[in-house]
Amino acid sequence: LAIFLLNITPAIAIDVIEVDKKNEFPTEVTVRYVLDCMTTLGGQNDQNLYTCACRYDAIRTGMTFEHYEDGITYERNRAMPGEKGGFFRDNERGEEFYNVLLKVREKADSSCIVVKQVKRIKPTSKN
What's the pLDDT at 118? 67
What's the pLDDT at 50? 92
What's the pLDDT at 113? 85
What's the pLDDT at 20? 47
Q: What is the mean pLDDT of residues 74-80?
A: 88
Smallest CA-to-CA distance from 25 within 57, 1, 54, 49 is with 57
> The dihedral of CA 28, 90, 80, 55: what is its sign?
negative
Q: How many CB atoms lie within 10 A of CB 51?
A: 21
Element (H, E) at 47: helix 46-62
What's the pLDDT at 21? 56
pTM to 2 decimal places: 0.69
